[in-house]
Amino acid sequence: MPEVRSLSVGASFPQFNKKACVSIEPGKEFGFISSEDHKKSGKWMVMFWWPKDFTFICPTEIAAFNEKTEDFQSKNSILIGASTDTEYVHLAWRNQDPNLRNLQFPMVADTNKSLAEELGILSEDEKVAYRATYIVDPNGIIRWVNINDLDVGRNVDEVLRVLSGLLTGERVPCNWVPGQATLGR
């Protein structure tokens, strides 16, 4: 198996400007999402990737992130989904799957795979993105990354837990949950 080198904690998240499916409302379906939008927002960014639209595991994850959108927003963060499918495929999938119709976050289309490649998350066999999740601080620095194999879905509550821990600005122990004592600085 070839060695995969992905960007990790402490690295700058790559600059990007990508088309995205932002709505299913006619005439407002598409827009652009950029790293500059993230930096200008002054918020944390949680970007999660899935391998392919119209598959089995991916919609369960996307729907789970959508259910927690308000939780992410309450933690001064923006949520962005991404895959290497086109914005048109994202729109068709959202229109076809009732669990995806009312998404509250954009679905980025990394059609040329440049961002996934720069992040180092393309599978060698299928040339699709692994199930990667990044938490990026307001300055564009990766603070947490998790990459799952193609066949294993992620835990959205764990992403929220880690984001909460990072937001404390303190050390948090193993199995810490928001509301518990931290270890201070």
Residues designated catalytic: 58
Closest C-alpha among 137, 109, 84 to residue 17? 109
Residue 36, sorted as left (phi over 0), alpha (psi -120 to 50) or beta, turns out to be: alpha
**What strands lie across the sheet with 142-148, from one edge to the other?**
30-34, 17-21, 107-109, 77-83, 44-49, 131-136, 142-148
Q: Please check whether residue 145 is in contact with residue 159, taking contact to mean a CB–CB distance below 8 angstroms.
A: no
